[in-house]
Structure 1
Amino acid sequence: MSTMPPEVSAILLDIEGTTTAITFVKNVLFPYVEENVQDYLLLHWDEEECQEDIRQLRKQAEEDAELDGFVPIPPDSEKGAEDVDSVVQAVVNNVHWQMSQDRKTTALKQLQGHMWREAYSTGHVKGDVYRDVVPAIREWRKAGKKVYIYSSGSVEAQKLLFGHSVQGNLLDLFDGYFDTTIGHKVESESYRRIAENIGCSPENILFLTDVTKEAKAAEEAGVHVAMVVRPGNAPLTDDEKLQYSLIMSFSDLSLLPLL
């Protein structure tokens, strides 16, 4: 059991390995994109959003021309169905290559986000959320705490996950969302910016994460940290176990000092 510091008024939550199984993105979301990207592009080819996704991927491909394994995307000459098929196949190959390299380019994230939006809205995918998360957040909110999400995934992707979760629409549990547009999670300045955005001091924030580099950055900014230990998360060293407060479940986080 870990006690929440009394000065904490806002709780900042990571997603992967914290609210959601770390395997969800790798085993559900990523395979969905890899298996369905060709059908998605053909179905939405004539839509401006899809064409913008392809333009961004083509622009990224031009920047990647010097990388090993680079997959080019030819221009769309609008000659006919055969040309469409060749461009689609090139985009599919490029997306598969980027994902095999675990790249996180804005162009790739944009297409993935649009595909996941469709997957969630049609019910093909539901957001994974640990059972202990919702009851705990409701208790925190009853106690007057505000709750925010901070993830490397886009704000849109965050809202899709919690808006179409296995436990229903959970968007009313959160007071706001942050992604890497405010800064990377391993940079302490990001947490200072979040505190400023929320309208509080860093010491008024408790950050829950499973990543020690993120925990270190948050602590350097003056934010309180608790490490979340879930099945499948990266193991902590003995020193890390001593350095941080550890919780196995959100229910391990007590609002009141233990007597």
Structure 2
Amino acid sequence: MGPLSVPASVTTILLDIEGTTTPITFVKAILFPYIQDNVKEYLLNHWQEKECQEDIDQLRLQAEKDTGLNGFVPIPENDAELQQVVQGVVDNVHWQMSLDRKTTALKQLQGHMWRAAYNTGQVKGEVYDDVVPALRKWKEAGMKLYIFSSGSVEAQKLLFGYSIEGDLLELYEGYFDTTIGPKVESESYRRIADHIGCSTENILFLTDVTKEAKAAKEAGVHVAVVVRPGNANLTDEEKAKYPLISTFEQIILPSAK
């Protein structure tokens, strides 16, 4: 691990969140437990709202697709007793989260629950110390900054909008989640490039997950794997295959060479 000279073709930096800009412990120890502990109360408090009912409809549709999976939890129709439906949603959410699933329906509900938590100050988004200075420096140098995370776009905006460093939304040009495609499929990165209006070779993707780095690289995107405390250990083969950085300070932009 050492300085990473960014290729001259790069005009855009695409960032993962968990393990890259934000400690994995924030998601695992704060955000996820918040959902598990508060989902029932949230559903009961917001039951009459259209948004909440749409979230439940999406979870129910996902549940229908999941029929037959091991441990599958069905969600009763709304004509069943309220407590039955609520408990079905709670059990389904807990089941999906126990498998670390990334379904869009689950992420949508989580995003709405986190919005309520951020708005009331119960949660603030964490970022590593080196992140904000680097993002500001890159933006000032003319780089376009985007996020690509498995968390919903809304959840992403909440984390950076209500961060421990204040509102960071001004730093980003845009946000991508799994609605554009899975992070482990190369086609997702081609779609992102199309959406941004650039070539894949104009993008540098920073992630802590080598499967994501592999998919991005296959699409022609430049990649670097971020090694942070608490991130998954890399094999020697993975270490040899990708550029590694332990802090954003190691990234040297073309103009700074």
**Is this a same-fold pair by TM over 0.5?**
yes
Aligned to 1:19: 21
Partners in 2 of 1:193 and 1:65 — Cα distance? Answer: 30
Q: Percent sequence identity over matched residues?
A: 70
TM-score, reference length from structure 1:
0.92
User: 1:227·1:247 contact (CA, 8 Å) conserved in 2?
Assistant: yes
Q: Deviations over 1:99-141 (max 9, x none)?
A: 1122222222221111011111111111111110110011111
User: 2:136·2:171 contact (CA, 8 Å) conserved in 1?
Assistant: yes
Q: Deviations over 1:76-120 (max 9, x none)?
A: 337xxxx32232222212221221122222222221111011111
Question: Which of 58, 62, 65 matches 2:67?
Answer: 65
Q: Deviations over 1:14-70 (max 9, x none)?
A: 111100112222111110011001111111111121122222223333333322322
User: 1:154·1:180 contact (CA, 8 Å) conserved in 2?
Assistant: yes
User: 2:19·2:226 contact (CA, 8 Å) conserved in 1?
Assistant: yes
CA RMSD of aligned residues (A): 1.8
Q: Which amino acid aligns with 1:202?
A: T
User: 1:3·1:257 contact (CA, 8 Å) conserved in 2?
Assistant: no
Distance 1:7 1:68, change over 3 A: closer
User: 1:12·1:206 contact (CA, 8 Å) conserved in 2?
Assistant: yes
User: 1:186·1:217 contact (CA, 8 Å) conserved in 2?
Assistant: yes
User: 2:150·2:178 contact (CA, 8 Å) conserved in 1?
Assistant: yes
Question: Which of 91, 104, 107 matches 1:106?
Answer: 104
Aligned to 1:121: 119
Distance 1:225 1:62, change over 3 A: closer
Task: Tell me the secondary structure at the aligned position of residue 146 of structure 2.
Answer: strand
Partners in 2 of 1:73 and 1:239 — Cα distance? Answer: 44
Distance 1:104 1:241, change over 3 A: closer
Aligned to 1:186: 184
Task: Tell me the secondary structure at the aligned position of residue 118 of structure 1.
Answer: helix
Give the drift of 1:159: 0.7
- Greater mean deviation of Cα atoms: 120-129 or 190-199: 190-199
> Structure 2: any 5+ residue segments left out of the alignment?
none
Distance 1:199 1:73, change over 3 A: closer
Give the drift of 1:257: 8.3
Task: Tell me the secondary structure at the aligned position of residue 124 of structure 1.
Answer: coil
Distance 1:70 1:202, change over 3 A: closer
Q: Which amino acid aligns with 1:156?
A: E
Partners in 1 of 2:199 and 2:61 — Cα distance? Answer: 40
Task: Tell me the secondary structure at the aligned position of residue 7 of structure 2.
Answer: coil
Question: Which of 94, 101, 107 matches 2:92?
Answer: 94
Count residues in correspondence.
255
Partners in 2 of 1:239 and 1:194 — Cα distance? Answer: 28
Distance 1:35 1:200, change over 3 A: same
User: 1:37·1:92 contact (CA, 8 Å) conserved in 2?
Assistant: yes
Aligned to 1:201: 199
Give the drift of 1:256: 4.9
Q: Which amino acid aligns with 1:232?
A: G
- Greater mean deviation of Cα atoms: 213-222 or 168-177: 213-222
Aligned to 1:34: 36
> Structure 1: any 5+ residue segments left out of the alignment?
none
User: 1:151·1:179 contact (CA, 8 Å) conserved in 2?
Assistant: yes
Distance 1:38 1:238, change over 3 A: same
Question: Which of 6, 9, 17 matches 2:8?
Answer: 6
Task: Tell me the secondary structure at the aligned position of residue 164 of structure 2.
Answer: coil
